[in-house]
Structure 1
Amino acid sequence: MTQGIALAVLLVLGGLAIAGPSGLLAWGENLRLLDQRRATIATLSHERDELKVQVNALNPSNADPDLVGELLRKDLNVVHPDEVVILLDKPAD
């Protein structure tokens, strides 16, 4: 009787080792997810580095005038009195 229970437990453990969530069959899926997440981390790290550069350029003690002007024009829609604005029509789809 106890040998049958022990055999059943071993068979269940063996089945989980092969087909369980962290078994041999799930190994390829886990590697694919790991590669996907590493690519996402690399993309986010690059974006974070770009934002750090932009934040440093906007430091109030010595802000980059070109970047400040660009952001003012883009975000607040303002221009200098001596500038000319040329509106371009969007191409029809």
Structure 2
Amino acid sequence: MIGVSVVAYFAYHTVHGDRGLVALTHLQSEVARAQSTLDQVRGEREELERRASLLRPDNLDPDLLEERARAVLNQSHPDDLVILLPRRSAPQSTQGNPDQGR
């Protein structure tokens, strides 16, 4: 009876323990989510590095320079067609917001 109890104890903790099979699948799903986040951030960084390289003095792209100048100066050419896109919403802080709840 004691032997069966010991085997049952270890079998239970093999599946449901802190380092069991359930914990393993949970950790694997967290690693997969972290990997997808890393891939997304890496892609964004590479795009920013590519755009920054186009603004270097030794490799200046006139179109990108004009685009950045117009964005900074908030101006456009009279023949330009302007399409306003919605901005990405950033997480908003609720602390210190006097208009909250109105």
TM-score normalised to structure 2 length? 0.58
Segments of structure 1 that go 5 or more residues without pairing to the other structure are 1-7
Q: Residue 16 of structure 2 aligns with which residue?
A: 19
Alignment-mate amino acid for residue 46 of structure 1: G
Gapped runs of 5+ residues in structure 2?
A: 1-5, 85-102
Distance 1:31 1:71 in 2: 42
Q: How many residues align?
A: 77
Give 1 or 2 for the bigger CA radius of gyration. Answer: 1
Residue 48 of structure 2: aligned partner: 51
Residue from 43, 62, 67 that aligns with 2:64: 67
Aligned-pair Cα RMSD in Å: 2.8
Shift of 1:74: 1.8
Distance 1:46 1:87, change over 3 A: closer
Tell me the SS of whatever aligns to 1:40. helix
Q: What is the percent sequence identity of the aligned residues?
A: 27
